[in-house]
Amino acid sequence: MTAQSAPADAEFPALDEQLCFALYTATHRITRAYRPLLEPLGLTYVQYLVMLVLWESAPRSVGELGHSLYLDSGTLTPLLKRMEKSGLVTRQRDNNDERRVLIYLTDQGLELKSQAHHIQADMLCRMELTRAESRQLQAQVMELIDNLEKN
């Protein structure tokens, strides 16, 4: 029996039993919990994610950032323009391939890393998770993402 042909009287899981709703709600709560930690740094949550990728390794192309963050260039480009305007990054065409735009950290963007070092620990504390529990949960969610990407 397919999902479309299920009988009308079949039990349908309640909203609070839906995994998708739990993940959706958790995402919103986590993003909201980051806000007071990121405001002193002048970052939004998505800008923070960009900075995390660049702090790992810069420069990165817009395409590489998009791949790492699961964002398309239409979403990423205006975000990067705002970050450039605020002095955190610079955008430059790749000398070897002018189709590629490389994103570099500025000194100000690099300095922000030391100011952000406490954020992960603060969030783990707020979520009442150990690092090991966080890694386990993150691995499960990434496996879910990978499974959804395959299908």
Per-residue pLDDT of 89-108, as tens digits, reads: 999 998 888 889 999 999 99
pLDDT in tens, 25-77: 999 999 999 999 999 999 999 999 999 999 999 999 999 999 999 999 899 99
List of residues 6+ apart from 62 with CB closer than 8 A: 73, 76, 77, 80, 91, 100, 101, 103
pLDDT in tens, 115-140: 999 999 999 999 999 999 999 999 99
What's the pLDDT band for 5 if we cut at 50, 70, 90? low
Dist. CA 76–CA 62, nearest whole Å? 7
Domain locations in the chain? 30-117, 118-151
SS3 call for 54:
helix
**Helix axis angle, 73-85 relative to 45-56, nearest 10°?**
90
What's the pLDDT band for 6 if we cut at 50, 70, 90? low
Q: Residue 8 pLDDT more than 70? A: no
- Please tell me the predicted confidence (pLDDT) of residue 94: 86
Q: What is the DSSP string of 58-73?
A: S-EEHHHHHHHHT--H
CATH no. of 30-117: 1.10.10.10
Whether a cis peptide bond, with omega within 30° of 0, leads into 59 is: yes
SS3 call for 47:
helix
